[in-house]
Amino acid sequence: MVSSFIRLLSTFGFSAFLLVHAAPAHLSEPSVKHAWQQIPADWEVHDAPAADHPITLKIGLKQSRIDELIDSLYQVSDPFHGRYGQHLSRLEVEELVAPHADTVDVVDSWLISHGVDPSSDVTRNGAGDWISIRLPLSKVESMLSTKYQIYKHKRTSEKIVRTLSYSLPRDLHDHIDIIQPTTMFDNMRKMHATSHVNKVDPSSTLSAAELAALPDVTGPNGQQIAASCNTTVTPTCLMQLYRTEGYVPKAANKGNRIGITGFLEQFINFVDLQTFFSKFRPDALGANVTVISVDGGLNDQTIPGVEANLDNQYTEGITFPTPNIFYSTPGTAPTINDSVTPPQRDEPYIDWLNFVLSHDDMPFSFTTSYGGDEQTFPKEFAVRACNLFAQLGARGASIMFSSGDGGVGAGTCETNDGTNRTIFQPVFPATCPFVTGVGATFQIAPEKGIFFSQGGFSVYFPRPSFQDKAVPPFLQKLGNTYKGLFTPGGRGVPDVSAQGEGFQVVVGGEVESVGGTSASSPTFAGIVTLLNDFRISNGKPPLGFLNPLLYSVGVPGFVDILLGNNPGCGTPGFNATEGWDAITGLGTPDFVKLKSLIG
């Protein structure tokens, strides 16, 4: 799609066009696109940035046929629909999300009015629905009728350049979904709870002979599980508990892979991976993870990351010999650039999504252990990012996200709309209906929902149709308890759960015990990868977007968790109960049963 003014630019040049169109008369006066009523919690104004501070604006243009894309997503993901499994190609998805020619024209006309050449200054993705421009701060402030400040985080001392509001000509509001970096202060914090990391005390560790002498525990389906798994989780524990033991993947040469995301300078250490294999998965010794750099992302072997090691050691530990892909995307806790500090990509999330979507070939399952309180993301951003997950799902990918480690709400549990009301805080992106949110359990025979497993109901996203049967019974049992603290008509989280405490992870050559829903998500994603392997090796397409399947034919494939609660916000939180609940979702997976259900 080539707009009329781009054709004119190519014929007569930017300077000639700018003379005629320097101030388009049809653009209306600026009006606020998004604003916070107050400075987001934990941030404070630190200083004023320099006028020449470089900003890379990412502008999300209105996607012309996004409703058709979402309709297609549900059709190819519904096991009862005739199109089930007929996933879309990259080009088919790009055609559905490409902006209308009118949108391209009016946005480019606005850029030209500010001296930006759309033919040379602007970078566009394949679909043309995202554009990027590198500009000095003074130019950005003029374009967005705003004023940026340097904000400092009160606890971490991190600094970011943001604004509390920005404006666009009213005529552009229907053509631009979002512009960043502007008002999004959250930087996709990792879900891992550092309070759950403890060095293993050798004096308290049982020897191999002592462990072997412990009597096995009988699992929910009669399987035998090592008693040590009650407190010390290894790949063998997970394979026994979720009944993948003995399954040998066969579809590695048919494209089945799992993708693991890495942000905030979390790097997978190869030596630690081999040490992990030697201790907990000896048959995988010599296998490795393929690292893909997104926009210059590194994988520094001198800085082993707890999160990255956890994710990769357990996805590989469960799925070996299936190929594992680790995506390293640059961007850390944001810094204020100076003459010696290179430009910092402090919002790497959209970069990663656009990178993956730009390729024809990609993994069939992904796990991500990053997110933040939903309210800290502007709704426009959350919706637009959620639609990117819809694009991934339509192309046949299953996307897992940690549900969070804050029970029913971390921090103060206060709203950030100026009213300071107490509400439960769900975590985004787990609240996006197009991803599968994974909560956490602990112990075995029986498994229980663990206290930190974050769950609840979205404020931004209404309950999707696939939850219409599962969620209302939970709400009926709850009655008026916590009335006003959550949105009962919102999308419920989590969808499923898996073990999330006591994971044995090798970091810097030493074994650490790690917990969090950041352990649960890669665990569940590993099992989904094996389910994909089973389907692909039998000539069937991968599962793709999971939720419509999980909440229908998949329900009998889960062990219902009946114990546990997730306190927070001064309350005991939600209780695990029969059926779906807002701490463990549908329950934990039984690979054998799920394999028969999806066969």
Catalytic residues: 307, 311, 518
Phi-psi region at 211: left, alpha or beta (left = phi > 0; alpha = psi -120 to 50): alpha
Distance of CA 546 to the CA centre of its chain: 15
Cα torsion for 133, 137, 140, 142, to the nearest 10°?
-150
Taking the C-alpha atoms of residue 566 and residue 413, their distance in angstroms, rounded to an integer, is 14
Q: Is 581 annotated as a binding residue?
A: yes
> Could you tell me where the DSSP H helices lie in 374-415?
379-394
Taking the C-alpha atoms of residue 576 and residue 566, their distance in angstroms, rounded to an integer, is 9
- Contact 496/589 with Cβ under 8 angstroms? yes
Longest dimension (CA), the chain: 85
Nearest to 559 by CA among 526, 592, 535, 599: 592
> Which residues, other chains included, contact 598 with Cβ-Cβ below 8 Å and sequence gap of 6+?
531, 534, 535, 543, 549, 553, 554, 557
Amino acid 349 reads Y
Q: Is 393 annotated as a binding residue?
A: no
Nearest to 433 by CA among 373, 493, 356: 493
Distance of CA 190 to the CA centre of its chain: 10
Coil, strand, or helix at residue 427? strand
Q: Is 564 annotated as a binding residue?
A: no
Cis peptide before 215 (omega within 30 of 0): no
> Could you tell me where the DSSP H helices lie in 41-196?
66-77, 90-97, 101-113, 137-144
The DSSP bridge pattern shows strands 558-559 and 290-293 to be unpaired
Amino acid 559 reads V
Phi-psi region at 246: left, alpha or beta (left = phi > 0; alpha = psi -120 to 50): left
DSSP label at residue 190: B
Taking the C-alpha atoms of residue 426 and residue 319, their distance in angstroms, rounded to an integer, is 30
368, β-bridge pairs:
401
Q: Is 579 annotated as a binding residue?
A: yes
DSSP label at residue 170: G
- Contact 167/31 with Cβ under 8 angstroms? yes
Cβ neighbourhood burial of 490 (10 Å; 0-12, 13-18, 19+): buried
> Which residues, other chains included, contact 534 with Cβ-Cβ below 8 Å and sequence gap of 6+?
247, 595, 598, 599
**What are the helix and strand counts (H, E) for the chain?**
16, 28
Taking the C-alpha atoms of residue 365 and residue 261, their distance in angstroms, rounded to an integer, is 11
Q: Residues marked as binding?
A: 560-561, 579, 581
Q: Residues marked as binding for Ca(2+)?
A: 560-561, 579, 581
